[in-house]
Structure 1
Amino acid sequence: MLQTRTDWDTEALVISFYSSYILLLFLAGKFCLSSGVDTISKGHSLSGSQTIVSQDGTFELGFFSKGKYNNTYLGIWYKDFAEKAIVWVANRESPISNTSRNSKLEISEDGNLSLLNDSGISVWSTTSMSSQLPNSVEAVLLDTGNFVLRESSLPNMIFWQSFDYPTDTWLPGAKLGFRIFPELESQRLISWKSSDDPSPGPYSLVIDTDVSSGQLLLEWNKSVRYWASGTWNRDIFNEVPEISYTAKFNLIPTSNGIYYNYSLFTDVILSRLVIDASGELKQLTTVRSNRTWNPTINLPRNLNDVYAFCGEFGVFSYNSPSTCKCLKGFVPFSNENESINDAMGGCVRKTRLQCENITSSKGKNDGFFRISVLKLPTNSKVLHPLQNAEKGCKSACLEDCSCTAYAYVDGVCSIWTGALFDLKEIDSQYLNVKVANSELQDASGNKKRLMIIIAVVVSVGGPALGGFICFITRKIKKRGHGKKDSCQDLLSFDFSSSNNAIDNQMKNVHNVKKGSKNDFDLPLFSYASVSASTNNFSAGNKLGEGGFGPVYKGKSLNGQEIAVKRLSRRSGQGLEEFRNEILLIAKLQHRNLVRLLGCCVEKDENILIYEYMPNKSLDFFLFDSKKQVTLKWGTRIGIIEGIAQGLLYLHQYSRLRIIHRDLKASNILLDSEMNPKISDFGMARIFGGNNSEANTKRIVGTYGYMAPEYALEGLFSIKSDVFSFGVLVLEIVSGKKNTGFYNSDSLNLIGHAWDLWLRNRPLELMDGSLHSPPPAGVLRCINIGLLCVQENPNDRPTMSIVVTMLGNEFVALPLPKQPAFTTSRVVTKTTSDSGNAQIVSVNDLTVSSVEPR
């Protein structure tokens, strides 16, 4: 029977459909790995730009390149982040050369994963406990970031997993611990060698094998411990409770050891712990929808605590802006990078030692540079008593070509061989470092040239120098008598073109502290023009008065409004605070810090010129029953967050680490849009390097805002400012002052807030003038405020943690502990050991010590 035309058409259509279907299946099989599947099956491979992606789309596994040699690695990273955050590297010790184009990952005949280069040689493979794995084995990238080799029909039967072999990152759900049998072996997070080299570096995170402590430890070269988390008390680590603010840690004992794992309080956020190439342990978090990492914790808190932070022959410098520098006679290891701070690569000799020069025995003998260090390096070799004491010690080091340095302290000779690590530059002990003779000659030559120049200048230019000094002296005297030619006219000054002056640094910090009035690069205005701008400091222009003195509103001829702060002769503060404020604010720029526009130092007048804040200070609104109604909840939250950002900048991100020491409502100024700006830096303290704690006998500040350890012992730190911030938060929420608070059960606001918290009635603290604010937001602020005023400074969060808690409503907050608050309204303290009487107050006046003259 003949087929009709229609039959032929139908048959052709069917054949065409099946052909297309088979072709699609072929293409899907060929390119399935690049389309986002999470599995590699036996018989398939991963190569080139192909990747696999976890089912929820969080993690991606594939090949990536790093470093100047562009080596190729197999790794796992967070998908779709602007900056690729690598969390695991398979072949970190065996990179594939960039010339390899056909490298691939596959499941080998025995069922293990194998990474092959283009020659078919395995550079990395898994090692399963089973001798032969089933044919149904598969490799899967899980939503946790764990890459597992498992039985496809029994997903819980795992033969190998990447979580057992961490690199530098600890992910939620992963284990970190140790086993005891057959031999003690610890899992470690091991840092990258540098920021672009994934090979193992010198730093690691490990669990203390002392089971009773449960501490996390940071180590250098698996031998030197330089940081510990403190004992685990089943809820937090004693020294770093903040590490548990976003995650819950669990210590799990087993029959063959112990391990930690941790989980997040919510799936909305992502978090990871990383030990980076500089030896710091960092906790990084982000909201899933944000895709930008925010550092919440850096440990140790002080960089100088990191062992060998500056690498071989590198010196940690407390006064150098670059933190690390090389010893004399040494240069940064990388010729491509002038700074040794990147990757902490350390330093190498400029010139080889004479004893190392095997091609020539000629030349002068090596010598020594003498440097002062905080402590001598470890791993020294002590020599037996020598003849000629120190000379004998020096000779012993010269005769040993491997000797790099010696020290002779209290009759003991110590020498060092090989590289020197962990050098910190502070006058304490002396170390003699061996260098080539040419380096000594260069230093000696430079010194001789300098002496010749000085001699010539003194002998030939003496008269001219004397005349110059006389000229400068007359100019200073003229300015002291109010001559206008030495200062600028405030009335005609264009502040819009002087913004760059705000960013200029001081010429000499030490001279400013000693009393020099002209060591800062700020506009210096004449007293006459400043007085004219304020209508001769008229009462009608007076904005208020603080511990420093009165503040007046001024105006230039072009209408620019300014705030003029005039040091009062009756002020408890003086020139030290005046210079301190100029020194600090001239160095700082942040949208939540007040801008200093200039100053006037003339006759007996000391005046500071600030940008004008039309809404005055926070206390002007907050503690006035009529004005506080204008502070809506959104405005109050904005003020809290702005203050937090300003403090974070001072503590962590400014060019100088600064503790304010007098943070209070009257020192928070408000601009035209009610944005807060921290002001009054007269009491602030600068910390060099990464110091963050000090002690003083001169207690300054305002009671009610002062942390107990500072008010009672003179110990202040960044946590002192955190305490003051906590008081401010409670005041902003409640609309009441901490001091002068009258309640039948509590004598201050902190006590009242704590009492309400314990009785599960914290929302009663809320200002009654607020209309329907979100209860969860109010409760969160009260919780943060109470965390900041906890009695133990170690329990208080850092400002970076506070900013995270304020900005991310999904971050779970810990419960606060007992806060610090007084039980008396009158506090009087006499410091007998210093001979200074302290006048203290619980009102809004600034406290300063009265020192005998």
Structure 2
Amino acid sequence: MAIDTNEAFLLILGLLLLRECFSVADDTLSMGESLSVYTSDRLPSDNDKFELGYFKRGNSSNIYLGIWYKGIEDRRIVWVANRENYLSDPYTSRLEFSTDGNLVLLQDSSKIPFWSTNLRHLPSNSTEAALLGDGNFVLRDRSNHSTIFWESFDHPTDTWLPGAKLGIDKVGNVQKQLISWRNSEDPSPGVFSFGLDPNGVIQLILEWNNSHVYWSSGVWDSEELTRVLTSSAIYNRTIVLVSNENETYFTYSFTSNILIYPQLSITSFGQIKEIGEPLVIEPSIVLPRSLSTVYALCGAFGIYNNNSSNPCDCPKGFEPFSDTETRLNDWSSGCLRKHPLQCENRNGQKDWFLKISNVILPVNSKAYTPLSAKRSCELACMNNCSCTAYAHNSNGCMIWDRALLNLQRSLDNGEAGQDIYLRLSAEEPQNSKGNKWEVWVIVALPVLVMVLIFCLSVVFSSKGKHKCKGDVVSSNDLLLFDFNTEHHAINDETNTRDNATKSGKKDVELPLFSYESVSAATNNFSNANKLGEGGFGPVYKGKSLKGQEIAVKMLSNRSTQGLDEFMNETTLIAKLQHRHLVRLLGCCMEGDKKILIYEYMPNKSLDFYLFDPTKKKMLDWGTRIHIINGIAQGLLYLHQYSRLRIIHRDMKPSNILLDGEMNPKISDFGMARIVGDNKAQANTNRVVGTHGYMSPEYVMEGLYSIKSDVFSFGVLLLEVVSGEKNTGFYNRESLHLLSHAWELWRDERSLELMDSMIGRPSSECTIVRLINIGLLCVQASPFDRPTMFDVVSMMSNEHAPLPIPKQLAFTTSQNAMHSNPKINYAENCSINSVTISVMEARS
């Protein structure tokens, strides 16, 4: 149908009028209007000096709402709204008014804002937003502009503009301070801050992680502070202190009319710099002048080296937390170990110490002892599993039991350097010294002896090995049971073979016990020796001929698990050696008798304590944190450091056993699977596991990966913190523990998740950090979840900033669980009360 000229004109006019109705009018934003990312909408200030809009930095696709000087090419950002929660969708993201009169930053159809002015009792029909000529973004009364409900000057980010406040809101106990960007491309909060001393001293301070002051202006003196913070005779920055019953704050103004105010900003390197006109390259104010004064600039275990282009590096045995971050000179996350400390002397190997010479020692030593000998100091550190480094000088022995902070190579300032000895894993290679022939002899001789012994054992035990096929083996006749992994490793229905082993080679040797000896060890499997029963079958306590206490796990005839799971657990766990994995001592296979013999765990399983109102009190906060760390270390070994990459697939409290010292050990590998080093994920038509601990992609699509274990770990972590089962919220407002934890996190009430039965922890920040990590682990998308390497790093590096978890998604309905008709929800799962055979929704 043809459209004549008049109709076309009217159509265009109508579209223009429609756009005018829903876009920003002049320099204000009113109800019914929005600021859209897609159309690049911007809100100018009333004097056209500033501009509010959306920006990205570097190669990142993250979108932020911010304010900058209009017309400056590099968009000198002076304020960021959503620095903790970036936008990602350029098509649906917008700033608009909510029905209650607040400004909200939304994306898609989400009702939860990415940022909000978050005020109560607003006159919802008479508010408007405006960007003022001094860069202050305000929410005000539309009919009376002097009535300000909210202003960005009360919420500075990294830049102190004239008129903005640095101080303390006494009513809400809120600190108004500058917080650095993470790096030049990431405006999320960094680790450095600038503001009023919260301890009651009227002075401005620079602080690391809100815990360590490394620069101060000195007690308030108007003339002195003005001198320190004024760099030019062209203008005069007048600093004012305001203090009343509601607030105490510093603010400042200029006496001369300057086109672009010289702004004071805190950099991602922790310095205050004054940036003036765009053509001025060098800042006129830098506080403190030297980066060496900035505390912990290089993060945990990082070393400051006074190199202006690359001021930080990592010691031997460590690597930067992120290549992207180090590219941007962001060292706030510090350095990570390439290999975890073993602590125990294993296979003749133990942790060792690297000497780092001529350094300024870290200040966070946790112990000082008057040991006179260096060797005694070394042993004191070696015998303490928490010790990370030691130093010995004329004053005695210093020991560090956490991450090293503020480690610096000796500077040219006259301060003498000292030696520090950094603890490294036995897996970290040491530099070889001495005669090469001596080294070869030392290495080769034991190998030759072992080969000789092996050959003799094959000759003399060949007759006995035929007994394995069904003959009774005496209790003293201990054999080496050889598993050929090519034939016995359990695979999924995909029939993919274990590509992590060498085809046709026997690589597992496991002691084989007779049924007679196992029966004798357990007093003929008496009820008095019975410890419990799981999906595999009953478990009995026993004692070997040598007096060692053992746990005997028997495959029951009525067990939902079968030979596949038995062989899988035997084959897998025989390959694994780690202090946080239960140790398999041997097995028994005679006729239909299938038995596994483990080291005995006197303190039973984690769920025995955690969900019992009385026994949970035995798990204080120190013990719980120790258990969480141990489980994380064990999973990291399975995923990254074992000979095979193993996915456990059934992580839950009942599968965490506790030894006599409450050290956690991961058990029950019947559901575990081996995946190749380069394989991101696998899929199955048999979903096995326990309801409440399985990841959404595994439940709905049969996809499992190391991120499936990460999800289960996140659930377990939140259970340990709360003392509640994930599926124990049926009669409450929240359906799951995960949704309850998310709602508390969203409302900034995370501490309410803590188990109230055991009192307050010594460091509530540690618990909040663990909850943050737990929520990161249970995010809906496996791509958003961290790896266990990331998890261990975040837990060990307590000062590194953490990502913000995304809103969680849960699979609770029957339709969601059965969305893939090709999946068989396994028939041979554990028979624990919470472990599923066929998944059904609650009625």
Please tell me the TM-score bracket, short chain as reference.
0.3 to 0.5
Give the TM-score, by structure 2 length.
0.46
Give the TM-score, by structure 1 length.
0.45
Larger Rg: 1
